[in-house]
Structure 1
Amino acid sequence: ASSIKDEPVTMRLFAPRGELLYDGYVQFMFATSVPTMYLTTSENAIDIVDETAYEAVEKPRVGSTMMITAPDGSIDVVTDADIYRHGNTSFDYFDQKPYNLGLQNKMSLLGMTPGRKWVLKSNGQYTTVLMKNRAAFEIARQMGMDSAPESRYINLYINGRYMGLYLLCQNIQAPEFLGSGRVGALIERDVKYEMRPQSFVAEGMGMTIHYPEGMTSGEISGTEAAFTRALEAVKSGSDPAQYLDMQSFLQMYMLQDYLVQTDIDGDSLYFYIGSDGLIHAGPVWDFDCSAGHITSGPYHDDLTIRSRYFNDFGALFFKALEHSESFRSEASKYYTKSFSPLVRRYLSDGFAPEAAELESSLKMSLLACDMYPVDKETDDSPEELQRWLGSRGHFLDNYYNDEDSYDLVKFVFTWGSMTAAVKHGSTVGPLPDDAHPGNNEDIWGKVECFVDENGNEASDDTVIEGDTSLYAVYAEREE
């Protein structure tokens, strides 16, 4: 069903004493097929949460009554819940804010595994951000990754006001998520590590230890030493199976590779030291900048669909594994035998029907959050996302079937690089024409052309006969 009535309705609004306040039209919106969450707080209490500062270590919490209803209107749960800040960029720079929820006791919400801590991921960054996260979680779960959270779409109301479409997820930082006894330490690549009580630096990247809490300085140093020792050993070519849980790393590598999650060096990349003493990849989290989106916006399908992005992004263990022939051989086998068939099934049997069910809620959310109509220039729609996912899968089918027949073309910018795979002897294809995904030429400058190592200008028709670097040439800035 549509979320917007085709014809507006005439409405007159009067004050209690008969004064005419409004004489005009109103359009009614409704959402179908998606559960609804109602949070009720004391007056203006949610403002305390919404004004939580980025650098706040102790996040203020406000109490609420939470009710969740199924699409048919039946009540799933009614309970008390604390609401507090979640996220970094998504919280600070967008009107539709993500939240954490804390319950007094473990409860099952909408059939998910009982938990006490939950996350409401917001859809405020762009149209399909929740769909990309949901796709990552579901593909990971279908691969058998027990570190992938369960999730459900919900329409959120706070104090009677419609807040938009959200994704209700298990909180992966809660000790209950991975289970007691399985985890020696949960570690996150975290840009805010210096604000955390338990942190260290590995390969120039800040890492936060989320639990166990209350570690001594010696225990933190021991965790850092174990992590760093494993990283240095894998980079030096030692057998990674001595240090890493290879199944989880293979699955995480494949998930990251397929979705081209370009924020992998920035935030929310998780590892945990298991009871087996090995480092595991996971939990799965934060695929906001994926499937054609790079940091601040969408960026060149022709480049992201053909991306070999572990050549450009450090990603700690993953870049070292990318250069291991034995690991890449296992990745190729796993992709062909397991991952590719799984993704094809998911796109047809999972993603497509879910996108259809989501249509009315998504449109209503975009209207409420002043994000509708969608800017067609961004190609940000469920249909475009499904097309990108299918095209990426088609490319990887060919790539992993005959990796040796491809050359790597590295596009070098002032802000970094992006590497694409091109069939040997083929033309390079459309060259990037933006200086940066955000395309802020005032900051990055305007790209005029690309040249090779010898200064020869490249074009879309340049034939690739081996691994190549192409360098962006920027226009001179006006004074």
Structure 2
Amino acid sequence: MSKIRYILLLLCSLFFVQCLWNESELEPSYLPLDDSEYPYADLPRLVIETVDFQQIRNKETEVPAYLQIYGKDLPESDVKHLTIKGRGNSSFEMTKYGYKLEFENKESLFGMPRNRDWALIAIFRDKSFLHNYITYMLADLLGDAYAPRSCFVELYLNRQYMGLYQLTESVKVDKNRVNIPKNDSSFLFERTTTSSLEKDHFYSSFNHLFQIKSPKDVSADSKALLTNHINSFEAFLMTNSATNLDSLANWIDIQDFARYFLIQEFSKNIDGNWRSIFLTWQKNSVIQMGPVWDFDMAYGLSSKEKISPEGWNIRTHGWNQYLFKGSQYRAFVRQFWDAHHSTFESLIDSINAIYPHLEKVSKNEFKRWPVLKEEYIWPFIESMDSYTAAVDSLKSWIARRIQWMDGSL
């Protein structure tokens, strides 16, 4: 997917088809929208109402709901059936939090492939609104097999304006998402630090906690297959053979690992520091990293302080500390950086092209959530005078990070 397509997805509010509905006594024929306080900002509006206006209290209870898409003046979709619940880990504890949507039928939203499962990312901590968006674009431009597609929208929930959200494909096994077979020897799994897991997780020999996302309800034999393979790989990392690129290629997709490392290291993503990352593995194949996900604590942000663009983030953590002992692997990563240097540099041009389309919605967002100048109340660490200042801060951080990476890889 090209950079142009990502920008077109951003501007997806320009293209809608107006539909008609069948009246029903059991469900609404349309969902009302009052935008007198928060006027149209050139982005699609998602209007969601839960049945009987039930509150969304947690991340477990799926609340039945209706959804309709609005353009500037009128509804521009039919009323869709779905369930909605909270989503996120630390982000769910924030005043503005995200939601998980599961439609009754597969839906193609704003040109993205049909699916039932979607995520509404709150974009609360990131005052530029761009961290996730530009990183998913970067992963795609660097040749990742799959990077989540997304579109900016404004959300009205139970007739209350909730602000700017990023409607994003959720990470799952699917031919249009993580495209691996659905069988008992193909795995999508996550390195995580959560302590609330009840099943389908294991600790590796390096004491890394992994949760198996697919297959669901994994059998004991299937779980043992993955566990044993990861433990065998970690044992291999302790040997001298791990410094040989040909030997390493029997275990991992080296180019994929290098790309994933550079995306996480370049953005200095705190969650990418072996806290929350996705991986895939299929029997008789190699381990792959990704897809990329969750960059709200990246590009200088963390939960406690502003992070300098200088210094390593994940090179000495997780499996990376063993991989980088090999001079051949270090050289390969450097070669990948040099070969794709212009792609990393082009992020600043992409930001310049995208952010003007978010200036209007920033007024609605910061009116609803007046946090622009907050810097001492969690989760905020930096005060901004304007939305443009937040964007300029991001561009400055990226430019300095590229300079540091050039001299340190």
Match of 2:313 among 309, 312, 332: 309
Scaled by the length of structure 1, the TM-score of the pair is 0.69
Output one character per residue of 1:197-241: Cα deviation in whole Å (capped at 9) or x when no partner: 101012222110011012222221221111121123134342221
Alpha-carbon contact 2:202-2:209 (below 8 Å) kept: yes
State the distance in 1 between where 2:288 and 2:112 align. Answer: 24
Residue 77 and residue 174 in structure 1: after superposition, are their counterparts in 2 closer, same or farther (change >3 A)? farther
Q: 1:247: Cα distance to partner? A: 2.1
The gaps in structure 2 that reach 5 residues or longer are 1-35, 385-389
Q: Which structure has more strand as a fraction of its residues? A: 1
State the distance in 2 between where 1:375 and 1:329 align. Answer: 40
> Which residue does the alignment assign to 2:398?
389
Alpha-carbon contact 2:191-2:275 (below 8 Å) kept: yes
Alpha-carbon contact 2:200-2:223 (below 8 Å) kept: yes
Residue 235 and residue 358 in structure 1: after superposition, are their counterparts in 2 closer, same or farther (change >3 A)? farther
State the distance in 1 between where 2:275 and 2:52 align. Answer: 34
Residue 83 and residue 218 in structure 1: after superposition, are their counterparts in 2 closer, same or farther (change >3 A)? same
Letter in 1 for 2:319: F
Output one character per residue of 1:252-285: Cα deviation in whole Å (capped at 9) or x when no partner: 0110111011223464211110365211101111
> Which residue does the alignment assign to 2:337?
335
> Which residue does the alignment assign to 2:67?
66
Mapping 1:449-468, distance limit 5 Å: none
Output one character per residue of 1:125-171: Cα deviation in whole Å (capped at 9) or x when no partner: 3423x411112111001112123100111111112211011111111
> Which residue does the alignment assign to 2:188?
186
Match of 2:220 among 214, 217, 222: 217
Letter in 2 for 1:394: Q
Give the secondary-structure state (helix, strand or coil) at the position aligned to 2:51. Answer: coil
Residue 78 and residue 274 in structure 1: after superposition, are their counterparts in 2 closer, same or farther (change >3 A)? farther
The answer to whether 1:204 aligns with 2:210 is no
Mapping 1:265-280, distance limit 5 Å: 265=273, 267-274=275-282, 277-280=285-288
Alpha-carbon contact 2:270-2:298 (below 8 Å) kept: yes
Alpha-carbon contact 2:273-2:313 (below 8 Å) kept: no
State the distance in 2 between where 1:102 and 1:398 align. Answer: 46
State the distance in 1 between where 2:283 and 2:40 align. Answer: 45
> Which residue does the alignment assign to 1:40?
49
> Which residue does the alignment assign to 1:412?
none
Output the aligned Cα RMSD: 2.4
State the distance in 2 between where 1:79 and 1:126 align. Answer: 30
Alpha-carbon contact 1:305-1:391 (below 8 Å) kept: yes
Structure of higher CA gyration radius: 1
The gaps in structure 1 that reach 5 residues or longer are 1-26, 54-58, 401-479
Q: 1:345: Cα distance to partner? A: 2.2
Scaled by the length of structure 2, the TM-score of the pair is 0.80
Match of 1:228 among 222, 226, 231: 231
Alpha-carbon contact 2:53-2:158 (below 8 Å) kept: no
Mapping 1:94-109, distance limit 5 Å: 94-109=94-109
State the distance in 2 between where 1:115 and 1:275 align. Answer: 27
> Which residue does the alignment assign to 1:135?
134
> Which residue does the alignment assign to 1:52?
58
Output one character per residue of 1:313-343: Cα deviation in whole Å (capped at 9) or x when no partner: x2x22232233211111111111111x2012
State the distance in 2 between where 1:91 and 1:169 align. Answer: 16
Letter in 1 for 2:210: M
State the distance in 2 between where 1:369 and 1:252 align. Answer: 33
Alpha-carbon contact 1:153-1:165 (below 8 Å) kept: yes
- May I ask how many residue pairs the two structures share in their alignment? 356
State the distance in 2 between where 1:188 and 1:110 align. Answer: 28
> Which residue does the alignment assign to 1:149?
148
Output one character per residue of 1:417-475: Cα deviation in whole Å (capped at 9) or x when no partner: xxxxxxxxxxxxxxxxxxxxxxxxxxxxxxxxxxxxxxxxxxxxxxxxxxxxxxxxxxx
Residue 63 and residue 167 in structure 1: after superposition, are their counterparts in 2 closer, same or farther (change >3 A)? same
**Which moves more between the two structures, 256-265 or 95-104?**
256-265
Identical counterparts, % of pairs: 19
Mapping 1:57-456, distance limit 5 Å: 59-70=60-71, 75=76, 78-92=79-93, 94-128=94-128, 130-175=129-174, 177-181=177-181, 184-192=186-194, 195-202=197-204, 203-237=206-240, 238=242, 239-265=247-273, 267-274=275-282, 277-299=285-307, 304-312=308-316, 314=317, 316-338=318-340, 340-348=341-349, 350-373=350-373, 375=375, 378=382, 381-400=390-409
Alpha-carbon contact 1:119-1:171 (below 8 Å) kept: yes
Query: Using CA pairs below 8 Å that are at least 6 residues apart, which structure has the higher relative contact order?
Result: 2
Give the secondary-structure state (helix, strand or coil) at the position aligned to 1:34. Answer: coil
Q: 1:74: Cα distance to partner? A: 6.8
Give the secondary-structure state (helix, strand or coil) at the position aligned to 2:130. Answer: helix
Letter in 2 for 1:214: D
State the distance in 2 between where 1:101 and 1:174 align. Answer: 16
State the distance in 2 between where 1:260 and 1:227 align. Answer: 25
Output one character per residue of 1:337-364: Cα deviation in whole Å (capped at 9) or x when no partner: 11x201222321x221211111121232
Alpha-carbon contact 1:118-1:169 (below 8 Å) kept: yes
Give the secondary-structure state (helix, strand or coil) at the position aligned to 1:168. Answer: strand
State the distance in 1 between where 2:236 and 2:95 align. Answer: 44
Residue 124 and residue 328 in structure 1: after superposition, are their counterparts in 2 closer, same or farther (change >3 A)? same
Letter in 2 for 1:52: N
State the distance in 2 between where 1:388 and 1:35 align. Answer: 30
Output one character per residue of 1:33-54: Cα deviation in whole Å (capped at 9) or x when no partner: 3221111112331x2x2x227x
Q: 1:395: Cα distance to partner? A: 2.5
